[in-house]
A and B are shown apart, each in its own frame.
Chain A
Amino acid sequence: MKRFLTVTTAVAALVAGGQSAQAKDLVVGMFGGSFGKAAQTCHIAPFETASGDTVVVQEGSSSQFAAMVRATGGDSDFDVVYIDNSFAAQLAAEGLLQALDKSKLSHAGELVDGAFGAEDHFVQYQWGATAIAYNPADYPTPPDSWADVFTAAASGKVALPDIAGTAGVHFLIAAALLNGGSIDNLDPGFEAIAKIAPEVKAYYTQADQIISMFERGEISIAPWYPDRAAAAGDAGVPVAIAYPKEGAVGIKVTMVIPEGAGNTDGAYAYIDNALSADVQKCFAENMYAGPVNKDVKLEGAAAKAVPPEMFGKLYFPDPEKIAANVGDWRQRWQREVTK
């Protein structure tokens, strides 16, 4: 028996070794958790079948990927990185990303306007939003305005996103817009949030931190992401999503090919696959990711979580303005809000 095992392991090792020698590896940086599972089904599996390449996944967050790409200074270990557009804009400005060649992306013409970043350094494959998550039991009539978050603060059942994450930056901008400011004048936003800060139940830095707060009934409303809220709702958490009438703040999640990527051909094939209508629909149904391919038609739960008609009503802040100023905003937030 022992001998049989040795022989089989040796054969298995030989086969595995032989395979990896022929096909290439594609190193992909992506987000973890439920996102990683959906990406395995919709993005990785079809790509591996079609190309014969092996995808090596490294999990992390946008900011961690940005730090890693910068640390390797133009000779990145990654071939493809999933990253929020403000970090992509930052890396592009530092000359760390390849400009994408649209002719190598067969689905480029099917995408919504503005999917490609300035000078084509990144391509959006998914839209998301920072909207309002609420407990339906506490809100017989769903909230319909950012103002509802502020009025609910007095009840002590509000959680806010910390500015470390995308939702925090977006909520700050939304608060400024609500109070007569803009992305260039965030003073009204800081003032409004600082006013309710003492009554805020908690700040979250990672999206899934507030799931347990909704479960335990500690909070009834929070600025959050529709995709996460829909997934949590499916799992039985008492949470639903509302798009505020002033407009939710849109998120562009992009894919980039860093300078120095070892398998550029594989990277283009991987991205092109992710932009195709079928895969976009798959990702929307598995992950509630808003599709950017105009040929995708959604129905059922996905259409409710990321309604295609909502896409045009989203406010997409300028990623370059965010990248240039977010450091100052974070400092000010730490001093005035979460001190």
Chain B
Amino acid sequence: MTRSRSAGVGLIGPASVLILAGFLAPTVIMAMLSLRDYSGMHGIGTDWTLSNYIDVLGDWFYMEIVLRTLALGLVVTVLCLVVGFPLALFILRVGPRMQTVAILLVIFPLLCNIVVRSFGWMVLLSPRGVINDALLNIGLISEPLDLMYNLTGVIIGLVQIYLPFMVLLLVPALQNIPADVEAAALTLRSSRARVFFTITVPLASPGIITGSILVFVLSISALVTPRMLGGPTYRVMATQIYDEFMTNLNWPSGAALAFVLTFIALALIWAANRVAAHLTRGISA
């Protein structure tokens, strides 16, 4: 072994050990757990079985939860993109002082615990909360709106919580677009809308795709916000996994659900990367 090679091994060694011991080993243990049988009063058995997976994949009750989770992730991602894109453009094109303020405002919510932020939304959205009270007082509505303990509440909460991630990934992507390209298109009398859709958006697509993947994966695995704003009986994958582990004590079933969620996420990331590779041919990220 040459000296530089051994130095290389020494350098990647700590990280490899950390990943093997801290990530791979627990995952393997969970995978084995998901293949065990379980019954109340006997606990986790010693027989190998696929029944935990069959129960999840062959049951419309669970498939509904899976579909609800994916739909939730999709809606949150699209909304984050729609709200985040103009914000990222604003941050990029505003004066330096305002830019600092805007970036700070985007980052600031990240410093606050997610439970506190979700609780803040409960204060705002509850039937007698700030929003409903204000609307009732000015006479816009006569009955409180159902803003919480349903899909609406979960979407509002998740969009606010994950918007910073989208914006922070879009800003550098937009920064990479040379200003000359847009200027050239405008000189050639292209309309602003056309410039936006045929120049800005395609050139920003690496950032759009990374941001979307991140927000999507975070949304489908979010536990606290769906539990708090969706209410005790609102079910997505993450809450169902938590309940299997912590309430039913059926760890094999919870582990199987967790792996189904992981595989869905991996498949979607893989697909998105393929699409991204196709779209961004020739664009350096």
Contact = CB atoms under 8 A, between A and B. Distances in A.
A interface, over-half SS? helix
Interface string B161-176: 0000000000000000
A334 B41 contact: no
Contact of A70 (B39, B248, B249): B249
Contacts of B42: 93-94
A325 B40 CA distance: 6
A70 B245 contact: no
Interface string B22-42: 000000000000000001111
Contact of A66 (B61, B128, B231, B249): B249
Contacts of A202: 149, 231
Nearest to B245: A67
Contact of B43 (A70, A162, A331, A335): A70
Interface string A305-323: 0000000000000001001
Contacts of A164: 232, 243, 247
A327 B233 contact: no
B279 interface: no
A94 B43 contact: yes
Interface string A195-238: 00000001111100100000010100000000000000000000
Nearest to B61: A335
A213 to B, nearest CB: 10
A67 B246 contact: yes
A89 B40 CA distance: 10
A216 B40 contact: no
B233 A63 contact: no
Interface residues of B, number: 21
A24 interface: no
A338 interface: yes
A162 B233 contact: yes
B250 interface: yes
Nearest to A331: B61
Contacts of A67: 245-246, 249
A64 B42 CA distance: 18
Contacts of B128: 216
A159 to B, nearest CB: 11
Interface string B218-248: 0000000000000111010000000101111
Contacts of B248: 326-327, 330
Contact of A323 (B41, B61, B232, B251): B41
Contacts of B246: 63-64, 67
Interface string B131-160: 000000000000000000100000000000
A89 B42 CA distance: 10
A193 to B, nearest CB: 13
Contacts of A89: 41
A41 to B, nearest CB: 28
A90 interface: yes
Contacts of A12: none
B43 A330 contact: no
A324 interface: yes
Contacts of A216: 128
A203 B149 CA distance: 11
A203 B41 contact: no
Contacts of A205: 232-233
Contacts of A324: 39-41
A218 B39 CA distance: 39
Contacts of A90: 40-41, 43, 249
Interface in A10-52: none
Interface in A87-118: 89-90, 93-94
Interface string A59-75: 00001101100100000
B42 to A, nearest CB: 7
Max chain A Cβ within 10 angstroms of own Cβ: one of B41, B42, B43, B246? B41
Contacts of A327: 40, 248-250
A334 B235 contact: yes
Contacts of A323: 40-41
Given A67-B249, A327-B248, A330-B248, A320 B41 contact: yes
A203 B247 contact: no
A112 B247 CA distance: 30
Contact of B233 (A94, A325, A326, A338): A338
A183 to B, nearest CB: 14
A64 B242 CA distance: 11
A330 B232 CA distance: 14
B61 A63 contact: no
A14 B43 CA distance: 46
26 contacts: A63-B246, A63-B249, A64-B246, A66-B249, A67-B245, A70-B43, A70-B249, A70-B251, A89-B41, A90-B249, A162-B233, A164-B232, A164-B243, A164-B247, A202-B231, A203-B231, A204-B232, A205-B232, A206-B232, A324-B40, A324-B41, A325-B40, A327-B249, A330-B247, A335-B61, A338-B233
Interface of A: 63-64, 66-67, 70, 89-90, 93-94, 162, 164, 202-206, 209, 216, 218, 320, 323-328, 330-331, 334-335, 338
Pairs A-B, 9 closest by C-beta atoms: A205-B232, A324-B41, A94-B43, A338-B233, A324-B40, A93-B41, A327-B248, A164-B247, A63-B247
Given A63-B246, A90-B249, 14 more contacts: A70-B249, A90-B41, A90-B43, A202-B149, A203-B232, A203-B233, A209-B232, A216-B128, A324-B40, A326-B40, A328-B40, A330-B243, A330-B247, A335-B61
